[in-house]
């Protein structure tokens, strides 16, 4: 027996959902969705659960992560109930639910907290650089060290526990008792989706036009490889021409593609970009800043101007800190991780069901 | 056979009107017959040309013509010309249904000086060409029979005059709710005196009891007050409150309503009666969704009162109400109960109440447990607004209704939500509101027995036809409006009572009214007043009268509808229906059963086939000719024909089977693979 929570609607509205109460369950969203399966519950089941506020059902569901927000459902909804935006909001809500610190929820719901956090980090970085009395080389060295420790720390303290919580909510609590070998067998799913977003290709609009998928694919690869290039190949200090050029290409790809994405959000031509939330803007702008500032820093190093124009590095470092401490652990970056794991868990559940039969 | 048939040329009817005016029926000698092509609708299947030639040979038929469109102006003019030139004394038109053109051809008769009742319509379109398009020959034979029946009938037709009645320009409106009041205003404005008869002490009925109304937002009481003020300014309207309708007598144009107002007895003479007696709200049974078992279960009417009387906070029995569950279709759409109908207005009423709650009080959650939301038309705005406000809609099915229980001082609802894959949901609410439907008034039986208005299976008063005669009852001069007829909202109620008002005005306006003379007629000589006819008459149209020293039956021609139920029960065969006399019916049967000899169209010169061989299929479907020309000298299977003609094989099969039956084609054994039958033309 499930318990209705009429207050859930107010809660999810704070995560960006709009007008989903107008849904009268006609099923058009399910009919047009190319990812909908034969049981005809995707995505309308989630909309119904949200209307009724069946939190337990939503918490244990992986379905919000299976949606790539092509926006077909929202444009075809006869009630303008924005099912696509609701699915997006549910992803934000789930991110907040998985997060043991509770900070995700705060940041999503209150833009003031988000901005406050960003300003606090800006002040900390600027203060550290200008009042520590350290030389510019040492600061850049600390920047590099920070990057390494931040990645390790955020992963160990925030992301890993959150993924374990996600696993608990979606696999363990619904009593899916899958043997270990199933976990190994399904592992390929995790990596394939993490790097390629294979499922995204199943969306109707992506089938017709693969540009968005391709841009996204290049962006993910560039971002991950730039991370590798800066952290492990030490891009800012290396003398290897190949690594230098590799870094340039990667960072250029990031700021060019994010510029395209930002212009889409400004133009609002397609359904997915009509309702940008602060978290969406922060994510895409900061990724853009990451790309352009790292490109600029390396360029200044190559032109031997870094000492005279050190404020550029200050900006880069600030952006990096904000990115690593707010957007990666609590912001939209986590979608990248949760979505991949959702595919993985879904595969585990599927394989386990096959095994039972 | 009736003795009247002995002399075929001229007979004297032994039937008399009760007025004792005897008359002779001369068998019609000069009959004109017109058979219509209907531009192909008829002539594509029925061999109209041959029929018109055959009919020309019938006894007493002077003119027999086939015409392209009988109803066209030019043909009508020709008919008038024929009637005058040939001195026709009766006409038969064989065309479409009498529903469509009876009046057209009656007017043709009138224009040429012929009595309109000396005309008979034969339906050879709906009953022949359309119904038997697969069997053109049979359709032609049937049409032949029907036309001959029509000719035989028209031979016996009598020249009749319409019955004229003087009408009182006064109307009795029973029930002064919004429908009756509004209709009274219009009836008075159109120049009728109106007696508005109300049982209660105050006018206004249910609307006066309701609060804010959709869509204007006005208060029901205010609407009624305004309307009543207007009524009081109109001298032609007499309002009786605390009045009781005791007895109704008379008939259309001249009813007498006996009304008692307190101790005073009145007799009101009116030309027509409008019944607007309204409805009752369904009273939930004890235990129905916890009604009367829990204090927290109330009806929508009680809830509306609560909304109206509560101020800052919604409080019931001292408890603040923060959540309300509305259970829909209580007392409506009961597939096993007695109220099978939908009450139309309750969905909108409940959602409207919910919106009123949101407007007046904040933070009240609403759960709507419905079966289907029927907020049609502009009421859809209510539904959208309520969804937007976050009201939760839960769909249940009749076989799995929600359960209302009281657990630990909480009213808990358990329901299987069909929109959530029949998931069982439970939640507790502060108040359960039962959205009750409409039922006929408890005293509606009394009214229907006094006015003889029939009731439907839903126990509401019945109109003649929901679309064609929506406010008329089978009792001439008695009209119904508003919710006494069935569930309606206020707009629809007023619309229907105004429709009735305008209908009433059309009959009363002239001061006289004309009725068709197709009514029962009594043979004064043979009638012995055994009362059998009066006993079966549903319209109370037969009363005894003294005539030549004995009692005989007398038909009230203004109440009789000509249904004919009195005829078969009469032991001495002394009562019959005008235009449906034994002579007419028996002669029609004779005409229809007469042997018909129709030639297949062997002599037609049309439709030469390319090979020079003549295939005579005129009058048959076009596809037959195509099949025939495709077959020619060859033998072909159905798939081969299908490919050649581009026609679906199942259609071809059907036509080939019919053509086989008519002897046009014949099977010519199996093909090489023994998979299909081959067909060839029959020589």
Nearest alpha-carbon partner for B38 in B97, B116, B88, B114 = B97
List of chain B residues whose C-beta atoms are within 8 Å of the C-beta of residue A54: 420, 423
pLDDT score of B616? 59
Same domain, A87 and A110: no
Does A60 lie at the interface with B, CB-CB under 8 angstroms?
A: no
Percentages (nearest 5) of helix, strand, coil residues in chain A: 75, 0, 25
> Among candidates A108, A98, A82, which has minimal Cα distance to A22?
A82
From residue A137, alpha-carbon distances to A235, A264, B457, B644 in Å are 14, 39, 96, 90
What's the rounded Cα separation, in Å, for the pair B252 and A289? Answer: 90
**CA-CA-CA-CA dihedral for A297, A298, A302, A308, to nearest 10:** 10
The answer to whether the beta carbons of residues B435 and B375 sit under 8 Å apart is no
Interchain contact, B367 vs A6, CB within 8 Å: yes
Closest CA to B370 of B316, B459, B437: B437
Say whether residue A26 is in contact with chain B using an 8 A CB cutoff: no
Q: Is the pTM of this model over 0.90?
A: no
Residues A229 and A284 in one domain: yes
* Token pair 């374990």: residue: A164
- The alpha carbon of residue A81 is apart from the nearest alpha carbon of chain B, in Å, by 10
Structure token pair of residue B518: 């197709």
The residue segments making up the domain with residue A300 are 103-356
SS (H, E, C) B270-307: ECEEEECCCEEECCCCCCHHHECCECCEEEHHHHHHHH
Tell if the CB–CB gap between B424 and A48 is shorter than 8 Å: no
Class of domain B622-681: mainly alpha
Neighbour-count burial for B82-94, b at 16+ CB within 10 Å, e otherwise: bbeeeebbbbbbb
> Domain end: A98, A133, A155, which one?
A98
Q: In whole angstroms, give the CA distance from residue B215 to residue B121.
A: 50
| A357–chain B Cβ distance below 8 A for any pair | no
The answer to whether the CB of A275 falls within 8 A of the CB of A85 is yes
Contact (Cβ atoms closer than 8 angstroms) between residue B74 and residue B14? no
**Which residues in B512-549 are b (16+ Cβ under 10 Å) and which e?**
ebebebbbbbbbbeebebeebbbeebebebbeeeebee
Distance CA A321, CA A223 (A): 16
Buried b (16+ CB within 10 A) or exposed e, B471-504: bbbbbbbbbbbbbbbbbbbbbbbbbbbbbbbebb
3-state DSSP assignment of residue B393: strand
Q: Are residues A276 and A339 in the same domain?
A: yes
Q: Are B390 and A6 an interchain contact pair (Cβ–Cβ within 8 Å)?
A: yes
Q: Which residues of B touch A49 (CB under 8 A)?
A: 420
Query: Any chain B CB within 8 A of the CB of A52?
Result: yes
Answer yes or no: do A108 and A79 share one domain: no
Sign of CA dihedral B61, B63, B69, B74: negative
CATH of B3-161, one of 1.10.1200, 3.30.1370, 3.40.50, 1.25.10: 3.40.50
Homologous superfamily of the B286-434 domain (CATH)? FAD/NAD(P)-binding domain (3.50.50.60)
- The reply to whether residue A19 touches residue B388, judged by beta carbons under 8 angstroms, is yes
Q: B448: how many CB neighbours lie within 10 A of its CB?
A: 21
Q: Where are the domains of chain B?
A: 3-161, 170-278+441-513, 286-434, 519-577, 622-681
Residues A107 and A227 in one domain: yes
Task: Determine the residue among A4, A11, A55 to mutate to test chain B binding: the one whose Cβ has the most chain B Cβ atoms within 10 Å.
Answer: A4
In Å, how far is A269's CA from the nearest CA of chain B?
Answer: 25
Q: What is the pLDDT of residues B313-352, one digit of tens each?
A: 999 998 999 999 999 999 999 998 889 999 999 999 999 9
Mean pLDDT computed over A252-258: 94
Strand partners, B325: B367, B432
A39 touches chain B (CB under 8 A): no
Give dist(CA A71, CA A82) in Å, integer.
9
CB contact under 8 A, A24 and B365: no
According to DSSP, the residues that pair with B268 across neighbouring strands are: B257
What is the Cα–Cα distance from B552 to B541, expressed in whole angstroms? 14
Domain spanning B519-577: CATH 3.30.70.20: yes
Which residues of chain B, if any, have pLDDT below 50? Answer: 1-24, 602-614
What are the tens digits of pLDDT across the range A159-217? 999 999 999 999 999 998 989 999 999 999 898 888 888 888 888 777 777 888 899 99
Asked whether residue A92 falls in the same domain as residue A115, the answer is no
d(CA B319, CA B410): 12
Whether residues A88 and A110 share a domain: the answer is no
Confidence of residue A270 (pLDDT cuts 50, 70, 90): confident
Torsion of CA B642, B645, B646, B652, to 10 degrees: -40
Instruction: Report yes or no: B542 and B566 within 8 Å, Cβ to Cβ.
Output: yes
Q: Cα–Cα distance between B551 and B530 in angstroms, integer?
A: 9
Query: Closest Cα of chain A to B387: distance in Å?
Result: 5
List the single best residue of A3, A29, A52 to mutate versus B (max B Cβ within 10 A). A52
Sheet holding B423-429, edge to edge: A2-3, B423-429, B410-417, B403-407
In a domain, A26, yes or no: yes
User: B57: exposed, middle or buried (C-beta count within 10 Å: 0-12, 13-18, 19+)?
Assistant: exposed
DSSP B27: P
Give the closest residue to A13 by CA, choosing from A21, A25, A3: A21
B350: tokens are 């409940």
Of the candidate ranges A68-77, A244-253, A294-303, B622-631, the one whose mean pLDDT is the lowest: B622-631
Place of tokens 């008063």: B461
Complex-level ipTM: 0.87
Residues of A in contact with B421 (CB under 8 A): 41, 45
Instruction: Look at residue B286 in the predicted model and tell me its pLDDT.
Output: 93
Report whether B582 contacts B2 (CB < 8 A). yes
Q: What DSSP assignment string belongs to B53-105?
A: HHHTTSTTEEEEEEES-TTSHHHHHHHHHHHHHTT-SEEEEEES-HHHHHHHH
Domains of chain A: total? 2
Tell me what pLDDT residue B17 has: 39
> E-assigned strands of B215-262?
237-240, 243-251, 254-261
Are A124 and A41 members of one domain?
A: no
For B165, the enclosing helix (H) or strand (E) is: strand B163-166
8 Å CB contact of B390 and A21: yes
Residues B182/B498, Cβ–Cβ less than 8 Å: yes
Write out chain A residues lying below 8 Å of B391, CB-based.
Answer: 21
A21 CB near a chain B CB, below 8 Å?
Answer: yes
Topology of B170-278+441-513 in CATH? FAD/NAD(P)-binding domain (3.50.50)
Q: Are residues A77 and A146 in the same domain?
A: no
Instruction: List Cβ neighbours of B146 (8 Å cut-off, separation of 6 or more).
Output: B94, B122, B123, B124, B127, B128, B592
Place of tokens 């050649």: B644
Identify whether residues A168 and A266 lie together within a single domain. Answer: yes
Q: Do domains B170-278+441-513 and B286-434 have the same CATH topology?
A: yes
If we measure between CA atoms, which residue out of B648, B500, B504, B517 comes closest to residue B577?
A: B517
Size of interface A-B (CB pairs under 8 A): 54
């Amino acid at each position: 027996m499930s318990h209705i929570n009429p207050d859930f609607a107010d809660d999810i509205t704070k995560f960006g959902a709009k007008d989903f109460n107008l849904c009268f369950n006609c099923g058009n969203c399910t009919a047009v969705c190319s990812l909908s399966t034969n049981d005809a519950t995707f995505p309308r089941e989630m909309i119904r659960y949200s209307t009724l506020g069946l939190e337990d059902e939503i918490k244990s569901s992986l379905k919000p992560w299976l949606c790539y927000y092509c926006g077909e459902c929202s444009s075809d909804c006869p009630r303008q109930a924005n099912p696509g935006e609701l699915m997006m909001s549910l992803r934000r809500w789930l991110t907040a639910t998985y997060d043991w610190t509770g900070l995700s929820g705060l940041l999503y719901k209150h833009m003031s907290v988000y901005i406050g956090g960003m300003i606090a980090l800006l002040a900390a970085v600027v203060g550290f650089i200008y009042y520590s009395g350290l030389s510019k080389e040492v600061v850049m060295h600390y920047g590099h060290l920070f990057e390494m420790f931040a990645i390790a720390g955020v992963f160990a303290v925030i992301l890993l526990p959150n993924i374990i919580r996600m696993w608990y909510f979606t696999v363990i609590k619904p009593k899916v008792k899958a043997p270990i070998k199933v976990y190994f067998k399904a592992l390929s799913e995790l990596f394939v989706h993490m790097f390629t977003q294979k499922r995204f290709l199943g969306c109707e609009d992506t089938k017709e036009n693969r540009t968005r998928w391709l841009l996204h694919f290049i962006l993910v690869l560039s971002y991950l490889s730039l991370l590798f290039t800066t952290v492990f190949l030490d891009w800012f200090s290396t003398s290897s021409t190949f690594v230098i050029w590799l870094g340039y290409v990667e960072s250029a790809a990031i700021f060019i593609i994010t510029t395209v994405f930002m212009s889409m959000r400004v133009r609002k031509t397609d359904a997915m970009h009509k309702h940008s939330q602060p978290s969406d803007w922060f994510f895409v702008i900061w990724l853009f800043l990451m790309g352009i500032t790292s490109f600029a820093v390396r360029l200044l190093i190559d032109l031997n101007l870094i000492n005279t124009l050190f404020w550029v590095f200050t900006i880069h470092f600030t952006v990096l800190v904000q990115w690593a401490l707010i957007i990666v652990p609590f912001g939209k970056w986590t979608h990248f991780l949760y979505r991949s794991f959702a595919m993985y868990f879904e595969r585990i559940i599927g394989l386990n069901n096959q095994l039972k039969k | 056979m009736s003795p009247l048939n002995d002399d075929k040329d001229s007979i004297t009817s032994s039937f008399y009107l009760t007025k004792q005016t005897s008359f002779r029926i001369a068998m019609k000698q000069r009959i004109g017959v017109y058979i219509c092509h209907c531009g192909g609708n008829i002539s594509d299947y029925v061999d109209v040309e041959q029929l018109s030639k055959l009919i020309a040979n019938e006894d007493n038929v002077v003119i027999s013509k086939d015409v392209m469109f009988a109803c066209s102006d030019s043909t009508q003019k020709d008919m008038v010309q024929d009637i005058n030139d040939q001195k026709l004394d009766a006409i038969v038109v064989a065309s479409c249904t009498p529903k469509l053109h009876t009046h057209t051809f009656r007017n043709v008769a009138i224009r040429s000086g012929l009595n309109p009742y000396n005309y008979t319509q034969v339906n050879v379109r709906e009953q022949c060409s359309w119904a038997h398009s697969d069997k053109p020959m049979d359709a032609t034979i049937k049409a032949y029979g029907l036309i001959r029946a029509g000719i035989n009938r028209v031979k016996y037709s009598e020249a009749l005059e319409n019955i004229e009645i003087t009408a009182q320009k006064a109307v009795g409106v029973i029930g002064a709710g919004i429908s009756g009041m509004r209709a009274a205003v219009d009836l008075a404005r159109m120049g009728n005196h109106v007696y508005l008869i109300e049982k209660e002490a105050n006018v206004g009925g249910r609307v006066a009891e309701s609060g804010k109304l959709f869509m204007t937002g006005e208060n029901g009481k205010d609407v009624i007050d305004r309307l009543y003020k207007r009524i009081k300014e109109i001298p032609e309207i007499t309002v009786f409150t605390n009045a009781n309708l005791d007895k109704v007598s008379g008939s259309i144009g001249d009813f007498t309503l006996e009304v008692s107002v307190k101790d005073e007895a009145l007799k009101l003479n009116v030309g027509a009666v409008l019944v607007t007696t309204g409805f009752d709200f369904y009273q939930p049974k004890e235990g129905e969704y916890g009604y009367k078992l829990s204090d927290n279960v109330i009806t929508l009417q009680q809830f509306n009162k609560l909304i109206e009387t509560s101020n800052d906070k919604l409080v019931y029995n001292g408890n603040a109400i923060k959540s309300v569950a509305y259970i829909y279709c209580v007392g409506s759409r009961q597939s096993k109960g007695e109220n099978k109908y939908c009450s139309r207005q309750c969905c909108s009423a409940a959602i409207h109440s919910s919106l009123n709650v949101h407007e007046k009080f904040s933070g009240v959650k609403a759960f709507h447990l419905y079966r289907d939301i029927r907020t049609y038309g502009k009421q859809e705005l209510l539904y959208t607004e309520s969804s937007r406000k976050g009201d939760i809609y839960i769909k249940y099915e009749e076989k799995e209704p929600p359960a209302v229980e009281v657990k630990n001082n909480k009213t808990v609802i358990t329901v299987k939500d069909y929109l959530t894959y029949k998931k069982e949901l439970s939640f507790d609410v502060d108040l359960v509101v039962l959205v009750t439907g409409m039922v006929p008034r408890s005293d509606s039986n009394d009214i229907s027995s006094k006015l003889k208005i029939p009731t439907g299976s839903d126990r509401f008063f019945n109109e003649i036809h929901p679309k064609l005669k929506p406010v008329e009852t089978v009792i001439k001069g008695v009209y119904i409006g508003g919710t006494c007829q069935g569930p309606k909202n206020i707009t629809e109620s007023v619309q229907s009572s105004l429709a009735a008002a305008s209908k009433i005005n059309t009959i009363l306006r002239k001061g006289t009214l004309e009725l068709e003379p197709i009514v029962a007629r009594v043979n004064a000589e043979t009638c012995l007043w055994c009362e059998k006819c009066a006993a079966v008459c549903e319209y109370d149209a037969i009363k005894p009268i003294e005539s030549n020293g004995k009692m005989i039956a007398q038909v009230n021609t203004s109440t009789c509808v000509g249904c004919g139920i009195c005829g078969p029960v009469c032991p001495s065969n002394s009562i019959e229906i005008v235009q449906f006399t034994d002579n007419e019916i028996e002669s029609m049967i004779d005409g229809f059963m007469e042997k018909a000899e129709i030639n297949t169209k062997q002599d037609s010169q049309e439709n030469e086939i390319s090979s020079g061989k003549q295939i005579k299929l005129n009058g048959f479907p076009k596809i037959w000719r195509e099949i025939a020309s495709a077959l020619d000298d060859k033998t072909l299977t159905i798939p081969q024909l299908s490919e050649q003609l581009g026609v679906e094989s199942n259609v071809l099969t059907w036509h080939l089977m019919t053509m086989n039956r008519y002897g046009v084609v014949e099977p010519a054994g199996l093909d090489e693979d023994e998979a299909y039958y081959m067909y060839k033309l029959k020589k």
